Amino acid sequence: MAMTDVAHDAVDYVRPAEVAEEALYHPKTWLGKYVFSQDAKIIALQYSMTAMAVGLIALLLSVLMRLQLGFPGVFSFITPDAYIQFVTMHGMIMVIYLLTALFLGGFGNYLIPLMVGARDMVFPYVNMVSYWVYLFAVLLLLASFFVPGGPTGSGWTLYPPQTILPGTPGADWGILLMLISLAFFVIGFTMGGLNYVVTVLQARTRGMSLMRLPLTVWGIFMATILALLAFPALLVSAVMMTLDSVLGTSFFMPAIVSMGQTLDYSGGSPVLFQHLFWFFGHPEVYIVALPAFGIVSELISVHARKNIFGYRLMVWAIVVIGGLSFVVWAHHMYVSGMNPYFGFFFATTTLIIAVPTAIKVYNWVLTLWRGNIRLTVPMLFAIAFVFTFINGGLTGIFLGNVIVDIPLSDTYFVVAHFHMVMAVSPVLAVFGAVYHWYPKITGRMLNETLGKFHFWVTFVGLYCIYYPMHYLGILGVPRRYYATGVTDFIPESAQVMNAGISIAAIIVASTQLVFLYNLAVSTTRGKPAGDNPWGATTLEWQTATTPPSHGNFGKELPLVYRWAYDYSVPGAKEDFIPQNVPASGDTGDAR
Amino acid sequence: MALAIILVLLVVGSVLFHFLSPWYLTPIASNWNYIDDTLTITFIVCGIVFVAINFFMAYCVYRYRYRKDRRAAYEPENKRMEWWLTVFTTVGVIAMLAPGLFVWAKYVEVPDNARLVEAVGQQWKWSYRYPGADGILGTVDIRHMDGRNPFGMNPDDPNGQDDVLVNGPEIHLPLGSPIKMLLRSKDVLHDFYVPQIRAKMDLVPGMITYFWFTPTRAGRYDVLCAELCGTGHYTMRSHMVLEEESAFNAWLATQPTFADTQAVKVASAGGSLAEQGRQVAESQGCIGCHSIDGSPSVGPTWKGLAGRTETLADGSTVVVDDEYLMESISVPNASIVAGYPPIMPPYQLDEGEMAALIAYLNSL
Amino acid sequence: MSLRRQLSTKPWLAQRGVVTDAGGFVGSTPKVTLGAFLCVASMVFALFIAAYFIRMTYADWRPIPVPALLWLNTVVLIGSSMALQWAAVSSRREHSDGMRLGLTLGGGCALVFLVGQWLAWRQLSGLGYFIDSNPSNAFFYTLTAVHGLHLLGGLGAWVRALVRVRQGVEIARLRMTLELCAIYWHFLLLVWLVLFGLLLVT
Ligand code: HEM
Ligand SMILES: [Cu+2]
Ligand SMILES: [Cu+2]
């Protein structure tokens, strides 16, 4: 720890933002620089690459599921057990190990210090450990593919009693690995998360008041707070479930006759688990959504050359949504057998969230209005995000309104809805963000033609996958079904739709290879980007070098003179004024 | 430009898809058309918002596309517009929520005159119980459950003796009177789901959940399980027959009461071994998945099973003898017949029951 | 500026072109960090306690007898907390003897507390109250274990502080560490009092 003493132990604590560059620990060895690095930017890349690697596995699993659903019986290696194992691992990986890790560990690490004008995270060492713990959690999770019985097949919600009983694949080893892996994820995340929060609170450079923060930082900051407060619920339920499974306690396990045998459990409450799970699970939705909100606000403003409309409302909406997201969890439990009178409360709180959320959407669109819109690849993704998010947000109103949820819950309507809001939309935001910040990370632009191809196939393809899927749900097709078989309410034509969806899914999935190719090739062959290719105002574009070196800003930290959205200021010379530019004849500040 | 066009096309396409595609709610068979109405209101409000915002966005993308000689407007906020939008959104939300809560209030208030019917779930089959002439369901407990008493009926409870037990694949209900479905699970979560009824509810082991509805349209509908319950989740089926009161009563009269099932047990000691086996098969619910007339079902038919040569999932073949039968009952997943999912739960039977069952299977 | 005032400024107008003081948020960074961590830890305990209250309402709950030893452990933990407070105060006043003594005593008492907790477990399981015999037992063992693990984590920091005291690091540089330790100990004492009260009352 000696190398970070400057940042930690001095009596009169020096804010890391103000640590002089020479005082930073600069590793001398290759290993210290690229593997066991304490530089938030390297850690960010490690997080991102690991997350994308597991994400690819999860994508592959989804293709396998789609093969089964689109062409039932054709691929005989996909057994009913394998199918629900795929469903479970796909869901869990996508939500936790890909999106949460990517948005917070990846984008959070890269962007927070740069955007608030700090040299690094406040606790670089802890930050590094956080990544390694995350990696360990990922490996544990993947190990469950190789243990006897395979990974757990209990659905990503892990509802007991089914999770730990025979009749569900992976009920002995798979589930344990899953629970332990989740516990490690939470621990690793807590280390990182404390860092992100404290860095935003304490390490902002001079002049960077809270309301001068870019919305990206606001989104990630609030999402981190949600995660810090929500993940404990996952941890607590994982601990209690592990005890139920290993030591035979009855936290969640009632008296049960399983497969003709009376088990030793008694009196526990499966619904208690659901409350704990969704107390984590609903905020989790916003852990994924808020960073996407922030990033999209940024992209839209930069590429429309216009200040974000209603900045204050955007910030307040993020805060309000974050707060409300802790009092809506039981909207996932309308049919769980909980006291039905809760329905009134949770339907109301849920629909209240619709208001700040709608305001965000209006403000994105109103930012475009009277803008000067450059349809760059990041901008295409940002607009596509708004489109799919409107769609997914509106179907959320169906499911939040308790009585409308009753026929739809546990059907494909739910699958379509949550993919639209928490899969398609955030993934589009991720792509937009990668196209936007790649030039800063590597110093080179991504290939635009490949980018556009990637965009069109991904956006239109994903919409074609999920829009029709809602109607399967309205028909009444239940989710997590290996095969629907013959029923009296599903017309045969539904299978045609299913096959079509599967083909679209395969096309979309394979197009991601183009994206990966683009990422790889452009590191060396991309057009040199310069320091600020998009003409953006925020601090990460004002670094001395591109890519930024360790310490981010060279000798002097930037001073912040203005908010993050001075685009097209009347009277100013350029159509953007970086945050670190003081008032002068060129900035139109005299007004 | 391309983006604006595609956005418009996607919106128009979505709306057309909604109206023109053959996929929508299946015709309703219960009193819950209120639910359908609320759904329709939600569709209208949300549809308008969806079209309006996206058209506006497409317009902006087209109208304010990049031009070198133009500058974007500088407008950090516009309080009045923001207020209007907030008020407008709030009104829209109330328009959807208020009717929804109103219907929900109906949904949670079970009418006093509702008839009780119980659905019992287990991996992966349904069974049903009616209260019998006294209108009261007898008490049950997990501890009473065994092969003879799959419902876990309390043998000492007089209210339970006349309960009608349906351990088969069908539930019948009379049209026109409210039904309170009581839901109980032996093992894991399930969810009693009939799309035509609209209402659904989880079965939670350790507690009794419920919902109510009034059947309105005669017919035979699928019962499915809508809460993931393990490997065989997707095969957990049954049928709901909605019919006139008289037909219903006639059907109910043919079903055994709890007392009947217990009496049969005692008497059966005298019956032939195969006959006893038939009763075991019935009480264990085997016939939920296996037909005895050769018709296809979840599992292989029992007709002509003994002596048949089966192809297993791993490609090998096996001639069905007593030993194979016994193994298939106590460790079903040891060998799986090709084409069938490995979803049969293992059964612990005592020797007498096993022998009777084998004799019965050999007789088919 | 109050948080509310800050959040309602119009950033495009307020002090445009001027470096306003962004300001730390509240107090020193290590304390803010510890505060944030304590929020997370409180959440863990709060959720366990919420689960406790819900689970308690089910029919099979039989309260677990509270071993008298826990009273003694409570006293020891209070002592531990006080000793660390003393160490922190001494370091502020540059009293190195008081600091050493307080630190040693504080950690020592914490160790005694952990041993005491373990003995209480032994007593209970000796009487046949195993973790799987009743949900109240399960909660007792789980909650004490989670609390103990937090204390163990604190002892990690304590060992580090002790080593540095031995190495003769200047007292001024230890002040923050000691203060953090003391705060963390007070927090764990508070949690323990809540848990203990819960056991006594229910
Ligand atoms: C091409 C992309 C994707 C495809 C084709 C896809 C497809 C699927 C399919 C077929 C299912 C199973 C539905 C069922 O049987 O009920 C599923 C479930 C799920 N997916 Fe995706 N998915 C994709 C991307 C994502 C992403 C990016 C996320 C991240 C949030 C995600 C989250 C989930 C979740 C949470 C489940 C539910 C798992 C469960 O029921 O336990 N998916 N997906
Ligand atoms: Cu939710
Ligand atoms: Cu089921």
Structural domain boundaries of chain B?
2-66+76-107, 115-260, 265-363
Judged by a CB distance cut-off of 8 A, whether residue B270 touches chain C is: no
Query: Cα B140–B143–B146 angle (5° rounding)?
Result: 95
CB spacing of C7 vs A249 below 8 angstroms: no
Bridge partners (DSSP) of residue B173 are B242
H helices of A341-408, in order, are 342-368, 377-400, 402-408
CB spacing of A404 vs B42 below 8 angstroms: yes
Distance CA B204, CA A499 (A): 34
Q: Is A170 left (phi over 0), alpha (psi -120 to 50) or beta?
A: left
CA dihedral of A116, A22, C174, C78, whole degrees rounded to 10: 30
| pLDDT band at residue B297 using 50, 70 and 90 as cut-offs | low
Say which residue, A572 or B248, is predicted with more confidence. Answer: B248
Q: Are A203 and C23 in contact (CB under 8 A)?
A: no
Percent of chain A at pLDDT > 90 equals 74
* CA distances for A192 relative to A27, B36, B277, angstroms: 21, 47, 63
Backbone angles phi, psi at A225, to 5 degrees: -60, -45
Chain A residues with CB-CB distance to C32 below 8 A: 198, 201-202
Rg (CA), chain C: 21
Chain C residues with CB-CB distance to A207 below 8 A: 18-22
Among A386, A410, A483, whose Cβ lies nearest the Cβ of B191? A410
Round to the nearest angstrom and report the end-to-end CA distance of chain C: 45
Q: Find the B232 Cα to ligand 3 centroid distance in Å.
A: 8
H helices of B64-187, in order, are 79-108
- For C55-189, strand residue ranges (E) read none
Q: Does an H or E element contain B125, and which?
A: strand B125-130
| pLDDT band at residue A366 using 50, 70 and 90 as cut-offs | very high
pLDDT of residue B223: 94
Average pLDDT, chain C: 89
Q: Does an H or E element contain A413, and which?
A: helix A412-419
Least confident of A6-15, B124-133, C133-142: A6-15
Among A194, A243, A268, whose Cβ lies nearest the Cβ of C36? A194
Among C6, C9, C17, whose Cβ lies nearest the Cβ of A561? C17
- Ligand 1 neighbours (beta carbon < 6 A): A 59, 62, 65-66, 87-88, 90-91, 94-95, 99, 155-157, 415, 419, 422-423, 427, 465, 479-480, 505, 508-509
pLDDT digits (tens, 9 = 90+) for B250-259: 999 988 888 8
Question: For residue A464, what are its two tokens?
Answer: 């074609």
Judged by a CB distance cut-off of 8 A, whether residue B143 touches chain C is: no
| pLDDT band at residue B16 using 50, 70 and 90 as cut-offs | very high
Chain A residues with CB-CB distance to B236 below 8 A: none
CA B55 to chain centre: 40
Q: Count how many Cα atoms sit within 13 Å of the Cα of residue C159 in the half-sphere of its side chain.
A: 7
User: Ligand 1: which atom is nearest the Cα of residue A157?
Assistant: 41
Judged by a CB distance cut-off of 8 A, whether residue A336 touches chain C is: no
Judged by a CB distance cut-off of 8 A, whether residue B342 touches chain A is: yes
Least confident of A133-137, A583-587, B76-80, C173-177: A583-587
Q: Is B339 left (phi over 0), alpha (psi -120 to 50) or beta?
A: left
pLDDT digits (tens, 9 = 90+) for A439-454: 999 999 999 999 999 9
Residue with tokens 């209005």: A369
pLDDT digits (tens, 9 = 90+) for B111-152: 999 999 999 998 888 999 999 888 889 999 988 887 778 888
pLDDT of residue C44: 95
Q: Are C10 and A312 in contact (CB under 8 A)?
A: yes
- For C76-166, strand residue ranges (E) read none
pLDDT of residue B295: 65
Distance CA A93, CA C148 (A): 32
Judged by a CB distance cut-off of 8 A, whether residue B71 touches chain A is: yes
- Return the residue in B16, B91, B231 with the most chain A beta carbons within 10 A, the one to mutate for interface testing: B231
Q: Could you tell me if residue C162 is inside a domain?
A: yes
Nearest to A406 by CA among B179, B240, B104: B104
Cβ-based contacts under 8 A for chains A and C = 162
Bridge partners (DSSP) of residue A281 are none
In this structure, the strands spanning B219-225 and B190-193 are antiparallel
Residue of the nearest CA to atom 15 in ligand 1?
Answer: A480
Distance CA A94, CA A303 (A): 29
pLDDT digits (tens, 9 = 90+) for A418-445: 999 999 999 999 999 999 999 999 999 9
pLDDT tops 50 at residue C7: yes
Measure C105 CA to nearest chain B CA, in Å: 50
| pLDDT band at residue A4 using 50, 70 and 90 as cut-offs | very low
Measure B210 CA to nearest chain A CA, in Å: 8
Distance CA C21, CA A4 (A): 26
pLDDT digits (tens, 9 = 90+) for B164-192: 998 877 899 999 999 999 999 998 999 99
Q: Is A378 left (phi over 0), alpha (psi -120 to 50) or beta?
A: alpha
- Return the residue in A129, A198, A567 with the most chain C beta carbons within 10 A, the one to mutate for interface testing: A198
Chain A residues with CB-CB distance to C35 below 8 A: none
pLDDT tops 80 at residue A375: yes
Residues in Cβ contact with C162 at an 8 Å cutoff, skipping those fewer than 6 apart: C103, C104, C107
pLDDT tops 90 at residue C23: no
Domain holding C61, by residue range, is 11-201
Length of chain C counted residue by residue: 202
Among A358, A365, A474, whose Cβ lies nearest the Cβ of B23? A474
* CA distances for B51 relative to B17, B43, B46, angstroms: 14, 12, 9
Say which residue, A10 or A555, is predicted with more confidence. Answer: A555
Burial B241-270 (b: 16+ CB within 10 A, else e): bbbeeeebeeeeeebbbbbebbebbeebee
Query: Cα C186–C189–C191 angle (5° rounding)?
Result: 110
Chain C residues with CB-CB distance to A273 below 8 A: none
Residue of the nearest CA to atom 27 in ligand 1?
Answer: A423
Residue type at position C107: G
Question: For residue A501, what are its two tokens?
Answer: 């969806």
CATH superfamily of B265-363: Cytochrome c-like domain (1.10.760.10)
Say which residue, B291 or A257, is predicted with more confidence. Answer: A257
Domain count, chain C: 1
| pLDDT band at residue A7 using 50, 70 and 90 as cut-offs | very low
Assigned CATH class of B115-260:
mainly beta
Nearest C-alpha in A relative to B152: A257
* CA distances for A395 relative to A177, B6, B344, angstroms: 34, 21, 37
Nearest C-alpha in C relative to B76: C12
Average pLDDT (A24-36) is 81
Question: For residue C71, what are its two tokens?
Answer: 């009273």
Burial A440-476 (b: 16+ CB within 10 A, else e): bbbbbbbbeebbeebbbbbbbbbbbbbbbbbbbbbbb
Residue type at position A116: V
Distance CA C12, CA B77 (A): 10
Q: Could you tell me if residue C1 is inside a domain?
A: no
Question: For residue A427, what are its two tokens?
Answer: 């993934």
Chain A residues with CB-CB distance to C33 below 8 A: 122-123, 194, 198
Distance CA A189, CA A526 (A): 34
Q: Could you tell me if residue C146 is inside a domain?
A: yes
In this structure, the strands spanning B170-174 and B238-243 are parallel
pLDDT tops 80 at residue C150: yes
Measure A505 CA to nearest chain B CA, in Å: 18
Distance CA A355, CA B94 (A): 11
Residue with tokens 């930050």: A127
ipTM of the complex: 0.93
pLDDT digits (tens, 9 = 90+) for A264-310: 888 889 999 999 999 999 999 999 999 999 999 999 999 999 999 99
Q: Is C91 left (phi over 0), alpha (psi -120 to 50) or beta?
A: alpha
In CATH, what number is assigned to the domain containing residue C21?
Answer: 1.20.120.80
CB spacing of A80 vs B104 below 8 angstroms: no
Residue of the nearest CA to atom 37 in ligand 1?
Answer: A91
Q: Are A378 and A303 in contact (CB under 8 A)?
A: yes
Residue with tokens 């920091």: C157
One DSSP character per residue, B222-276 reads EEEE-S--STTGGG--EEEEEE-HHHHHHHHHTSPBHHHHHHHHHHHTTS-HHHH
- Return the residue in A15, A251, A556, A584 with the most chain C beta carbons within 10 A, the one to mutate for interface testing: A251
Nearest to A434 by CA among A385, A387, A388, A377: A377
